Amino acid sequence: MNGIIVNGPDGRNELVPVTGYAPNFMRQFEDEHRGDLIDLRDIWLALWRNRYLILVVVAAFLAAGFIVTRLMTPMYMATASVAIDQQQDKVLGTEDSAPAGALQDTDRFLQTQVDILHSRALAARVIDSLNLAANARFLKAMHVEAEPAARRETAIGELLGHLDVELPKNSRVLPISFQSPDPKTAAVIANSYAENFIAANLQRHFDTSTYSKNFLQQQLGITKSRLENSEQAMLAYARAVGIVDTSQGAGFPDGNDRGGAGSPSLTTSNLIQLNQSYAAARSARLQAQERWQAAQATPVMSLPEVLTSPAIQQLEQKRAEVQADYQQQLEHRQPDHPAVKAQAAQLAELDSQIANIAATVKDSIRTQYVTAARQEGALSGAVSQLKGATLSEQTRGIRYNILKREVDTNRQLYDGLLQRYKEVSAEAGVTLNNISIVDLAEPSSSPVSPNLMVNLALAGIVGAVLALLIVLGREMFNDRIRNPDEVERRFGVPILGAVPKLGRRLSPVEALADDRSIITEPYQAVRAAIDLAQAAGPPSSLLISSSQKGEGKSTTALAIARSSAASGRRVLLIDGDMRNPSLHGFLNASLDPGLADVLEGSSHFDDQLVQHTDIENLDLLSAGRPKASPAQLLSGTRFRDLLQQARGRYDQVIIDTPPILGLADTLEMAAVTEQTILVVGCDRAHRRAVKESLKRLTAVRADILGSVLLKFAPRRTFERGLYSYYYYDDEQHASPKLLGWTRRRPDPKDQDDRAQA
């Protein structure tokens, strides 16, 4: 039955059956529990292994941080604050200022002020205002040791280096901080920065106004000269071509062009006036013509002019009176009566007068018509003459209009510049200020730097990071095997057991002789794992080797042989390491004759060649003293024959061999041995060496049963006691699983249980 010994619930060992091959369990365990890219346990173990290095590096940095902090000069900080308004107050009402609604530019505006505070020009103002370039106390405090000619530049650099201006959030109050070894100096410089910041702001506004005034004055002179030149050119051309401008524009004393670019000339003005008179005359002629035509077609006494004439009306009234008298006379007298005749004559006279006046009115209508017609004709001729003169003048006026528009343009520019110049001149003496001091800096009583706790924290962090980098580098370049599951995880070779590292007081042979030593039980667990690894039972021949010397293969071979002999088997232990034999010393036996004599043919495998040891059921075939190369001795068939003879006489043959790398001895013996166990020294064996050893064993078709990890230090994994792998077969699971490492304590009762197992 295939299985492994584990700790039961009552603390006693139990045999748990295992189906399948151990590496399959390991691969399944790795797939389920070690699929992550980062193994936190490996990281923790790496940190624990290098804990002293980490502590030393961190402690060194902490000490360096403490020393540097104590050697640093204490720095005091003083802070003054100023309020900055984006919109300036207006004094005259015409000053330029930022719009009140431009809130999106507030951050940009404040950042601009911060940049101004960090400017070299402002630092130079502070240096000059306080005469810091000649202040020995300031220069000494700031460690300025330059030549006198370069002290000012160096002081400016130091001033900017110790200035701190923070951009506030949701506030227009800007703090101005300065650090100095002297608290009073820090306060004075911070306050000077605030004052010079305001003075520089006022100076910039004044310089801007002065520059604007000078610029406008210069442009005004240029524009005035252009205006005068254009007016002179226009007048010269008008005189040359005979154009007389009747407008109130250029060339007139008031200098105001009311007529604009289209102002008429003298000819045009006459034409306009005559044309207006002609239109009026024509209208009058038409009216007179209509009246005359109406007068011709109407009886004279029916004409409205006749009827409305006062003289006609008076005569008609008088006639009516005379007519009334005449009719009255006819009633009393005869028509031939002189009074009647006188009345009749008077009526006739009145009728004649009325007729004459009516005729005169009609003749006046005709006279008005004739006069209007004559006036229309005269004006029509004059207009025709002026039309020709105007058309000729318009041809000459194109150039004149161009010159006139140029004059108008220059006059408008001149008037605008003159108005702006007057405004700027009025504003030049007005100083606008949008910055005011909120708090003045006061000398500080405690330094702000160096901060011992902060520096120690930073030193500790830097030391820890550097230590971790060192550990990472060591772990990356250190390919030694450190824990049991690393062999299985990297190479697929099952771990049969892990043996703790012995102390310096006890040798391996002495420890194996003590049933209560810390390596006895692990080796017994290894022997149990070997016996239960195959369904056919323990292997009849077992080869023990390692990748290099000093890993504990001879001790492992002796321990497995002792444990197998203690279980009742007859065991033959062969010292196959003919180059560096050691088993005879462990068992107080002689070195020769031994294996070398059998392989050379000088002796035969018999009871005289095999040495009995003090351990019951355990015999030893020592290495002997080879005369030829061990590799040549093992290349023949004599070792195979020896192994067959030993199998016939012993229940199990255990062979201790030389290291695999660099020698062919182990490969020759592994090719004819039933099973091979690779011993791996913890924190000694290298991964490349183990990999190469496994490749060489695989090349000779050696059957590798598993590996044993020696000199394992459990304390490095924060555990004490004995360690071993254990398996279980859960009926509820489809396949067995590896549970991991367990901590075990020596129990005398376990020996009987193992013996029965």
Higher pLDDT pick, 744 / 579: 579
Terminal Cα distance for the chain, rounded: 11
Give me the percent of the chain exceeding a pLDDT of 90: 10
Residue tagged 């306060």 (tokens): 187
pLDDT score for 722: 34
pLDDT score for 465: 93
Query: Residue 84: inside a domain, yes or no?
Result: no
How many separate helices (H) and strands (E) can be counted in the chain?
24, 16
Q: What is the pLDDT of residues 327-353, one digit of tens each?
A: 777 777 777 778 777 777 777 887 777
pLDDT score for 19: 35
Q: What is the pLDDT of residues 51-70, one digit of tens each?
A: 899 999 999 999 999 999 88
pLDDT score for 39: 66
The pLDDT of 714-729, averaged and rounded, is 38
Give me the percent of the chain exceeding a pLDDT of 70: 77
The pLDDT of 613-638, averaged and rounded, is 88
- 426: pLDDT confidence band, cut at 50, 70 and 90? low
Does the structure show a pLDDT above 50 at 661?
yes
Nearest to 216 by CA among 228, 227, 208, 206: 208
- Residue 7 bridge partners (DSSP): 13
Query: Residue 180: inside a domain, yes or no?
Result: no
Strands of the sheet containing 76-84, edge to edge, are 163-165, 173-180, 76-84, 435-439
Query: Residue 36: inside a domain, yes or no?
Result: yes
Query: Residue 137: inside a domain, yes or no?
Result: no
pLDDT score for 264: 60
Q: What is the pLDDT of residues 192-247, one digit of tens each?
A: 888 988 888 887 777 777 777 777 778 878 888 888 888 888 888 777 776 766 65
Count up the domains in the chain and report the number: 1
Query: Residue 118: inside a domain, yes or no?
Result: no
pLDDT score for 112: 87
The whole domain housing 564 covers 3-50+477-756
Q: 183 with 76: CB under 8 angstroms?
A: yes
- 255: pLDDT confidence band, cut at 50, 70 and 90? very low
pLDDT score for 684: 79
Strands 618-621 and 611-612, how do they pair? Answer: antiparallel
pLDDT score for 431: 56
pLDDT score for 677: 92
> How high is the mean pLDDT of the chain?
76
pLDDT score for 755: 39
Does the structure show a pLDDT above 80 at 34?
no
Q: Which helix (H) or strand (E) holds 499?
A: strand 495-500
Query: Residue 573: inside a domain, yes or no?
Result: yes
pLDDT score for 67: 93
Higher pLDDT pick, 2 / 271: 271
Query: Residue 32: inside a domain, yes or no?
Result: yes
The pLDDT of 445-471, averaged and rounded, is 89
b (16+ CB within 10 A) / e for 274-295? bbebbeebbebbeebbebbeeb
CATH no. for residue 598?
A: 3.40.50.300
Query: Residue 316: inside a domain, yes or no?
Result: no
